[in-house]
Structure 1
Amino acid sequence: MIPRWKLKRELTRLLSNSAKFPASFTTWLFGAGYYDFFLSGRVQQEPGEVDASPRRAVYLMFPSKGLLASHERSLRYLLRKNIATTVVSNFPLSPEDKNRVLALCHRYIERPNFGYDFGGYRDGLLSMGDELASLEQLVLLNDSSWFPITDKTDWLDQVEALNVDFAGAASNYGMSRPDPESYRSIKVDYRTDHPNFHYCSYALSFSSRTLSHPGFLRYWKKFPLSNSKKRTVRRGEIGLTRWAISNGLTHGATFDSAMIPEKLASLEEARLRHIAEMLIIMDDRKLRQLQARVESQLAAMPKLDLIGFILTAAARKGVSYATAEFNIFECGFPFLKKSPLWMEQDTSQKTLDLLERLNTPASLEALFEARTFLTRL
Structure 2
Amino acid sequence: MRFPFIALSGPLRRKWHDLRKNRNSKYTNGTLAAGPNVVLYLLYQPKGLLASSVETCRYFAAKGFSVFIVSNAPLSDADRNTLSGLSFGVLERENFGYDFGGYRDGILHLLESGIQMDKLLIMNDSVWFPTFDDEDFLDHVLAAKTDLYGAVLSQRKQHMAQRHLQSYAVAFGKKLLASKDFAVFWRHLLLSSNREWTIRNCEVQMTVHFRKLGYSLDARWGFESLGSVLDQLSDDELKDLLRLEAELERKRAPTIEALIATHGSPTWRADVTAFVDSRKFRKQIMLLHPAALSRMNFPFMKKSREPFYSVLRPLYAKWLGNKCAPTVLQELSHWD
TM-score, normalized by length of structure 1?
0.79
* 1:224 maps onto 2:224 in alignment: no
Q: Could you tell me which of 216, 240, 253 is aligned with 1:274?
A: 240
**Contact persistence 1:280–1:324 (CA under 8 A):** no
Partner secondary structure for residue 105 of structure 1: coil
User: Unaligned regions of 5+ residues in structure 2, if any?
Assistant: none
- Out of 343, 351, 359, the position equivalent to 2:306 is 343
Q: Give 1:272 deviation, angstroms.
A: 1.4
**Root mean square deviation of aligned Cα:** 2.8
Q: 1: CA distance between counterparts of 2:186 and 2:211?
A: 16
Q: Which residue of 2 aligns with 1:261?
A: 227
**In structure 2, what is the equivalent of residue 176 of structure 1?**
157
Q: CA offsets per residue over residues 286-316 of structure 1, 9 Å max, x none?
A: x332136634752534223333444458964
1:55 aligns with 2:20: no
Which consecutive aligned stretches of 4+ in structure 1 deviate over 6 angstroms post-superposition?
none
Partner amino acid, structure 2, of 1:307: T
2:294 counterpart of 1:329: yes
Aligned ranges 1:61-140 → 2 under 5 Å: 61-130=43-112, 134-140=116-122
In 1: Cα distance, 2:91 partner to 2:234 partner: 49
Aligned partners of 1:280, 1:77: CA distance in 2, in Å? 36
1:352 equivalent to 2:318? Answer: no
* TM-score using structure 2 length: 0.88
SS in 2 for 1:82: coil
- Which shows bigger deviation, 210-219 or 194-203? 194-203
* 8 A contact 1:116–1:229 mirrored in 2: yes
Q: Is the 8 A contact 2:246 2:253 kept in 1?
A: no
In the comparison of the two structures, how many residue pairs are matched?
Answer: 332
Shift of 1:34: 2.6
| Number of the residue aligned with 2:335 | 373
Task: Confirm or deny: 8 A CA contact 2:287 2:298 kept in the other structure.
Answer: no
Q: CA 1:326–1:176 in 2, change beyond 3 Å: closer, same or farther?
A: farther
Structure 2: distance between partners of 1:280 and 1:61: 34
Identity among equivalent positions (%) equals 28
Q: What is the letter of the counterpart of residue 155 of structure 1?
A: F
Deviations 1:226-259 (A, max 9, x none): 1111211222112210122112211111113332
Instruction: Please list every run of 5 or more consecutive structure 1 residues that lacks an aligned counterpart in the other structure.
Output: 1-18, 178-192
Q: Which residue of 2 aligns with 1:6?
A: none
SS in 2 for 1:298: helix
Correspondences of 1:182-331 after superposition (within 5 Å): 194-279=160-245, 287-291=249-253, 294-295=256-257, 298=260, 300-301=262-263, 302-312=268-278, 316=282, 318=284, 323-331=288-296
Retained in 2: the 8 A contact 1:280–1:347? no
Q: Which amino acid aligns with 1:201?
A: S
CA distance in 1, matches of 2:246, 2:68: 32
1:337 corresponds to which letter in structure 2?
A: K
Contact 1:45/1:109 (CA < 8 Å) preserved in 2? yes
